[in-house]
Each structure stands twice: as structure tokens, then as C-alpha cells.
Structure 1
Amino acid sequence: MSARQWFNVHSWAGLFVGALLFVTCLSGTLATLSHELEYLSDSQFRAISDSGDTDFAAIERTLNTHYPGAQVMYLTRHKQDYLATEVQLKIQGSFRFVYVDGATGALLGEGPWARISRFLRNWHMTLSMGWTGKLIITSLSLLLVVLLVSSLYVYRQWWRHFLKRPAALTLSKRNSWSDWHKLLGLWSYWFILVMALTGLWYLVEHGLQTAKIDHYVAPPPAVTQLANQNEKSTRPPLTLSAAYQAAKQAFPSLDIRYISYPQHSHQAIQIRGYNDDILLRLRANKVYLHPATGAVLGIQKGEQLPLVPRLKDTADPLHFGNFAGLGTKLIWAFFGALMTFVSGAGVVMGWLRVRRKTSAIRWLGVSGVIAIALVLASVVATSMSFSVRNVPAQLFSPVLGVEK
């Protein structure tokens, strides 16, 4: 292909759904620091202590005191210890977030399901359009691959231009936008490549899930056996602190950050955490417990995962940069901002090139109009749905404030 043909391919890929690509980059950048945005917005999202130790007994006492009659669905302590520990409660058939200090159990506040991180997550992952939205978003990874490959042919001898000084950015001058588009594209190339590869994995994963093809580690046999028994327990459910102690004894090196209660007594409690693995998300390491007796039903270790499950649990840390604390999150957010600018600058350049020859609607074409319509629809859909959180009718979890 000639340089001109590569340029046409590059322009087509960038402008085909330019508005949608820009918004996806923007929402992903904000989602990377969504919990930090919450941290800045309200003191209830801020931990008091910077200790990495979690006092489950103290958290349990706080919940028993302040939320009698409620039940715990999940408890999550973020990898970043400056963030509040989140407890998801079922209170009289409704949902409530409770925020506590992980190290001391002190109550920090409470709130609904709707919050900044939920809005950004729904918007970025699926446009709040379910299966179709996820397919649209993950398919953008194919366009990113086309853009990355074609850019190497469009920008001749690109390796010589990392330190080239760009022209002063002028809104009406296409050449100045082009200089910044090329320079920032070069410096963020590695990052765009990571986004493209992880996006491709999400696309493949979406296909596997749609086709109902198993591609993750099956639960341990004891968990399946318990589920098949389908018997109601006559014993009360395990308390938070008891579940923690049982899991810690079974998996001493596990830094426990998550406890999930089941809906029924024939389902397992899941305890998740980190185990000094590289680039693995929280669920890679877990302990399955009997919800009433605390007996260990199985242990999953991230270091023992086969290739495909390993890829599945590595994609998120690589995509959002949350694998090494605030430092990597800031790096990901910075290069995400560069990627957003590169995407937006490409659209601006395309318009400046043809604005004297055609109208904006004709330039956008059918695909451009659809992309803008999708963006607008996604904002409306997310605004309407991100506050919705249904709670299970039944939950096998201790009733808080009741004497054991």
C-alpha cells in the first residue's frame, strides 16, 4: 500500500466513530481515578488510618451497633489503603453502602449505590446498554489496532521525532493540531497498544461468554458438591471475623480484601485477596468456605492459574493500571489523557481539512451521526440506570445486632 492509502485507512479508522472513541478514552481515563475522585469529593470515602491491616472484628462491632437487623452482602477493602473499606448491606430489602475505616472499624458514612465510580464504570464498560454496549466498546479495539499499524506508515521515520518541537497549538490551524497529534501519539504509543490488546481480550471474552464457553477455573469439587445437596442449614451463618480467621488459617499469605456471602446455605462464602502475585486482580486468589461451619471447601492460587484464566485476571490490572498503587494509576490516567487528546485531535484535524468544502453533517456521514447518537444515548442511559441496585430476596448472612 502507498503512503496515501495508509493515510486514508488511518483517517477512516479515526473518524469512523470518532466521537465514540473519544468518549471511551475520556471515560476510561476518569474511571482509572474514579475512587480518588470520590476520595476528594467526600470525607466518608477516606480512611482514617494508613495501616494495611484490616480489623474485621472491629468492623463487625461497628456494623452490629449501627445497623441492627441488616445483613452483609459483600465487604471490600481497596488495594489503596487511603480509601475507605466498603460494606454492602441489605437493609429491609434495600441496598446501602456503609463506609468504615479498615484498620480501626470506625464508621465513616453511608450512601446509595449511585456514585461517581459506578457512573464511570457503567459508562465506560457498556455505555449502560448491556450486551450490545459491551460489544460496541470492545470492538473499538479493532479500530485501535488499525490506527496503530497505519500510523507507522503514515508518519515516516517516526522514530526520529520523539523530541521534535511542535508548533504552537492554534485552534484553527490544522498543521498545529497535526504536530501535537503526532508527538503525543508517539509518546503514548505503548499505552495505546496496551489498551488495544486488553480491549481485544475483552472482545474475545465477550464472545466466549455469549457462546457460554467455559474459560475460567471451575469451582472446587467440594463447592459443587455442596451446591448439589441443596439442603438448608440448621446452623447460623458464619460471622465476618470467623470467616476471616478460617480463611487466614487456610491461606496464611493471603492479604484478605474481600468477603462475599451467598444467597443460600448450600453456596460457599468467597474470600479473596492478594498474594504478592504480579498483575493479577483480586479474584485470582480465593478461599471457599462452608457458610455455616467455616470448613474450607477449596483454595485457588493465582500462581497456579492456567494460561487463559491468567489472561482473564491480568487484563483488568493492565487496562486500568491499578496493580501498584496510586503511582501506576496516575501514570495510566496521564497517558489516558494523552490518548484522549490524540483521539480528539484526529477528529479536529479531519474537520479542518474539509470544512471549506462540505457541511458538518455530510462530513460526519452515517457512521459519525450514529456515533454521536450513541454517545448522547449512553449519557442518558447511564444517568437513568447507574443508581439501580437490586438486592437478593434471600441472603445467608448473619443478621447484625442479634446475640449469637
Structure 2
Amino acid sequence: MNAKSWFNLHSWAGLFVGVLLFVTCVSGTLATLSHELEYLTDAKYRALTSSASTNYLALENTLNKHYPQAQLLFIQRHKQDYLATEAALKVGDSFRFVYLDAATGRLLGEGEWARISRFLRNWHMNLSMGWTGKLIVTSLSILLVILLVSSFYVYRRWWQGFMKKPAALSLDKRSSWSDWHKLLGLWSLWFIAVMAITGGWYLVEHGLQTAKVPHYVSSPQAVSEFKKQSPRKGLSPISLATAYTAAQQAFPSLDIRYIRYPNKADQPIEVRGYNDDILLRLRANRVYLKPSSGEVLGIQKGEELNLLPRIKDTADPLHFGNFAGIGTKLIWGLFGALMSFVSASGIYMSWLRVKRKTTTGKWLGLSGVVAIGLVVASILTTSLSFTERSVPNQVYSPILG
């Protein structure tokens, strides 16, 4: 392929569904910092201290005091200790988030399922369009690969451009937009590669899930056997503090961040946390407990995962930068913004190149119109659906109070 062919391929990949690619970049950037955006908007999302310790007994006492007759679905503390701990409750037939300070157990506020982080994650993950939306979003990774590879051929001697001073931006000068497009694109190459690789994995994962191909570690044998047993009647589920203590004794090095109660007595309590692993999400390390006694049914350690499960649990930390505190999240947010600019400037340069020769409709083409339609539909669908969160008819957890 000659230089012109590579340029045409690069332009096609950037414009084929350019608006959709741009919106996915923007929504992903905002989703990366979604909890921090909530932190800035309301005090209930802010922990009172940045202490790494979690007082589960104090948390449980607060829930018992303020929410009698409710039941705990799960409780989670984020990797970032400045964020409030979230307890998800079943209050009657409705769902409610309760925000608490992890170290003291103090009640900070409450809210519904609908919030900034939920909107952004639903929108970014699948445009709130279920299976089809996820296929569309993950397929954009193919365009990213094309854009990444073709850029090396479009921009000759690209390695010399990292320190090249760009021209001052002028709204109608395509050359100035080109300078900034190249410069920011070069500095974002590593980030675009990370997004392309992780997005490609999400596409593969979507295919494996659709084909129902097992690709994650199975629960321990004792858990499977426990599920087959008929639960003894009259046994009460253990308390939150008891579940924490049992899991900590079974897995002493585990930094417990999440405890989920089952719906039925023949299902285990699941405890998750971090274990000083590199680039692994919360669910990689687990302890399974018998819900009526706290007996350990099994332990899953991230360090023992095989290749596919390891990839599955590494993709999210890499994609969202949520693996080393606020520093990496801000870096991911910055380069996500740069990637969004690169996408938008490429679209705008294309329009500047042809605006005197054609109409907007012809320039967009069918794919452009469809992409804009999808973006509008996704915003409307997300706005209408992100508030929805049903609760199970029954939960096998202690009745609070």
C-alpha cells in the first residue's frame, strides 16, 4: 500500500462511525472519573478519613440503628479510600444505597440506584442497548487498531514529531488542526494501544459469552456440593461482622472490600478483596462462606488464575486505570481527553477538507447518519433506563435492627 492508500484507510476508519467513536471516548473518560465526579457533587460520597481500615462491626451497628427491617444485599468499599463505603439494601420491595464512613461507621447519606457513575457506565459499556450495544462498542476496537497502525504510515518520520511545536489553532485552518492532531495523537499512542487491546478483549469476551464458552474459573467443588444440598430450616444467616472475621481468618492477607449475601440459604456468601496482586480487579480474590455458619467453602486466589481468567480480571483495571489510586485515574482521564480531542479533530479536519465541495449529508454518508442516530438513541435510552434496579424477592441476610 502506498501513502495515499494508508491515508484513505486512516480517514475511513476515523469517519466510518466517527461520532460514535468520539462519544465512546468521551463517555469512557468520564466513566473513569465517575466516582470522583460524584465525590465533588455531594458530601455523602466522601469518606470522613482516608484510613485503610474498615470497621465492619461499626458499619453493621449503624445499619441496624437506621434501617430496621431492611436487609443487606452487599457492601463495598472502593479501592480509593477517600470514597464512601456503599451498602446496598433491600428496603421493603425497593433498592437503596447507603453511604458510610468505613473507619467509624458513621452514616453519610443515602441514594437510589440512579447516579452519575451508573449513567456513564451504562452509556459507555453498551449504549444501554444490551447485547447489540455491547457488540457495537467493542467492535470499535477494530477501528482503533486500524487507526493505530495506519497512523505510522500516514505520518512519515513520526518519531521526530514528539517535540515539534504545533501552529496556533485557527478555526478554519486545517493545517493547524493537523499539527495538534498529530502531536496529541503521538503522545497518546500508548493509551490508544491499551484501549484497542482491552477493547479487543471485550469483543472476544462478548463472543465467548454469547457462545456460552466457559472462560472463567469455576467455583470450588465444595460450593457446588453445598448448592445441591437441601438447606436446614430454622438457621439464621450470619452477621456482617461475623462474615468478615471468618473470611479474614481463612485468607489473612486479603484486603476485604466487598461482601455479598446470597438470595437463598443454599448459596454462599461471597467475600472479595485485593491481595497485593498486580493489575487484578476485585473479584479475582474470593472467599466463599456457608451463610448460616461462616464455614469456609472455598478460596480463590488471583495469583493462581490461569491465562484466560487472568486476562479477564486484568482488562478492567487496564481499561479504566483503576489500579493504583487517584494518580493513575487522573492519568487515564487526561489521556482519555486527549484521545477524544484527536478523534474530534480528525472529524473536523475531514469536514474542512471537503466543505466547499459537498453538503453535510453527503459528507457524513449513511454510516455517519447511523452513528449520530445511535448516539442520540443511546443518550435517550440511558436517560430512561439507568434508574432501573429491581431487588430479589428474597435475600438470605439478617433482618437489620
Who is 1:148 aligned against?
148
Deviation at 1:50, TM superposition (A): 1.2
Distance 1:325 1:307 in 2: 26
Who is 1:363 aligned against?
363
Who is 1:217 aligned against?
217
The runs of at least 4 aligned residues of structure 1 exceeding 6 Å deviation read: none
Distance 2:361 2:231 in 1: 63
Who is 1:264 aligned against?
264
Deviation at 1:232, TM superposition (A): 5.0
- TM-score, normalised on structure 2? 0.99
Distance 2:184 2:159 in 1: 13
Supply the AA of the counterpart residue of 1:64: N
Distance 1:233 1:339 in 2: 57
Kindly report which structure 2 residues correspond to 1:77-96, keeping only aligned pairs within 5 A, or say none: 77-96=77-96
Over the residues paired in the alignment, what is the CA RMSD in angstroms? 0.6
Whether the aligned pair in 2 keeps the contact of 1:233 and 1:292 (CA below 8 Å) is no
Distance 2:166 2:152 in 1: 19
Whether the aligned pair in 2 keeps the contact of 1:72 and 1:87 (CA below 8 Å) is yes
Who is 1:274 aligned against?
274
- TM-score, normalised on structure 1? 0.99
- Structure 2 residue runs without a partner (length 5+): none
Who is 1:195 aligned against?
195
Deviation at 1:118, TM superposition (A): 0.2
Distance 1:233 1:220 in 2: 24
Whether the aligned pair in 2 keeps the contact of 1:272 and 1:282 (CA below 8 Å) is yes
String of CA shifts for 1:127-180, please: whole Å, max 9, x gaps: 000000000000000000000000000000100110000011111111111110
- Secondary structure at 2:10 match in 1: helix
Deviation at 1:228, TM superposition (A): 1.4
1:319 and 2:312 matched: no
String of CA shifts for 1:28-74, please: whole Å, max 9, x gaps: 00001000000000000000011100000000000000000000001
Whether the aligned pair in 2 keeps the contact of 1:232 and 1:266 (CA below 8 Å) is no
Who is 2:8 aligned against?
8
Deviation at 1:231, TM superposition (A): 2.9
Who is 2:18 aligned against?
18
- Secondary structure at 2:27 match in 1: helix
Percent of pairs with identical residues: 70
String of CA shifts for 1:254-312, please: whole Å, max 9, x gaps: 00000000000000000000000000000000100001011000000000000000000
Deviation at 1:233, TM superposition (A): 4.1
Deviation at 1:234, TM superposition (A): 2.3
String of CA shifts for 1:109-132, please: whole Å, max 9, x gaps: 000000000000000000000000
- Structure 1 residue runs without a partner (length 5+): none
Distance 1:384 1:109 in 2: 24
String of CA shifts for 1:219-238, please: whole Å, max 9, x gaps: 00111111112435421001
Aligned residues: 401
Who is 1:56 aligned against?
56
Whether the aligned pair in 2 keeps the contact of 1:233 and 1:265 (CA below 8 Å) is no
Whether the aligned pair in 2 keeps the contact of 1:222 and 1:297 (CA below 8 Å) is yes
- Secondary structure at 2:287 match in 1: strand
Who is 1:169 aligned against?
169
